[in-house]
Amino acid sequence: MICGLLLAALSACGGAAVQHGSDGTSGAGGGRGGTSPGAAATTGVPGVGDRLRRRIPAVSRQVVAVYGDGKDSADATVVLYARRGPVWERVRSWQGHNGKKGWTAEHHAGDNRSPVGVFTLTDAGGVLADPGTRLPYTRSASFAAPRWWARSHWHDFDYVIAIDYNRVKGAPPDDPTRPEGEEKGGGIWLHMDHGSGTSACVSLSRAAMEYLLRTLDPDRHPVVVMGDRDALKA
């Protein structure tokens, strides 16, 4: 039973396939080590059109924007923005990965595509100890990737931040409850990168995950805005 719950919770983030930008702003670009803070500021989240911009809650003061290279690409650039007064300031950016088959506006379980949209970020966890996050953090060995996965994937879930897609907010990231039904998928997280596309999650370097965990603040109502660039601009 425990094994079954684990596999259900990890189903969106697993997989052993191996595969390999711009964030839409001017100024310094992102690398695996991230950019310096204060690189650029704008009155709107760059590269995000009215359709998704209207879904960003008015109270949100932190946005993690995931710019997919293309609808069918697994490569992405991830940028953290902070709202200071009327402007969104780019804080830091990193290279990352999304679903190995790209993006979709109609995600369903097993399609290997990440869902396009705006989702809150409310809960975190992982195999490792809390690095100092303000988000509720659940540490458990149950997050560990199965050892029958490729060795390159074993540390994927050392740190995770739940993306609130088809899940119960306030529950640990590996809670298997799917309010919209199993066919809509779930278990979609920000987690550590293994150098290739995921089954639906967004993956980042360990340094990036530690930075986000230490920086995201529930009082600032963080959200993730994610999709391929064309979908984000629509």
CATH code: domain 41-233 is: 2.40.440.10
Cα dist. 58→39, 72, 232 in Å?
Answer: 23, 31, 18
Which residue ranges make up each domain of the chain? 41-233
Contact 65, 227 (CB under 8 A): no
Beta bridge partners of 80: 64, 92
Q: Residue 192: enclosing H or E segment and its boundaries?
A: strand 189-192
Q: By C-alpha distance, which of 107, 141, 135 is closest to 121?
A: 135
Q: What is the pLDDT along the chain (234 residues), one digit of tens a residue?
A: 334 444 444 556 744 333 333 444 333 333 344 544 444 567 799 999 999 999 999 999 999 999 999 999 999 999 999 999 989 999 999 999 999 999 999 999 999 999 999 999 999 999 999 999 999 999 999 999 999 999 999 999 999 999 999 999 999 999 999 999 999 999 999 999 999 999 999 999 999 999 999 999 999 999 999 999 999 999
Report the distance separating Cα 233 and Cα 227, nearest Å. Answer: 9
User: Which tokens go with 66?
Assistant: 């995931």
pTM above 0.75, yes or no: yes
64-92 burial code (b ≥16 CB/10 A, e <16):
bbbbbbebebbbbbbbbbbbeeeebbbbb
